Amino acid sequence: MIRPLNDNVLLKKEVVENKTASGIILSANEKDAENVGVVIAVGDGKEVDGKKVPVAVKVGEKVIFDKYATTEIEFEKEKYLLISDSKILAVIE
Give the per-residue pLDDT at 29: 56
What are the boundaries of each domain within the chain?
8-92
* Average pLDDT in the chain: 88
pTM: 0.80
User: The dihedral of CA 6, 82, 86, 68: what is its sign?
Assistant: positive
Give the per-residue pLDDT at 67: 86
Cβ-based neighbour number of residue 80 at 10 Å: 20
Superfamily of domain 8-92: GroES chaperonin (2.30.33.40)
Give per-residue pLDDT as tens, 56-77: 999 999 999 998 999 999 999 9
Give per-residue pLDDT as tens, 6-44: 999 999 998 766 666 777 766 655 555 689 999 999 999
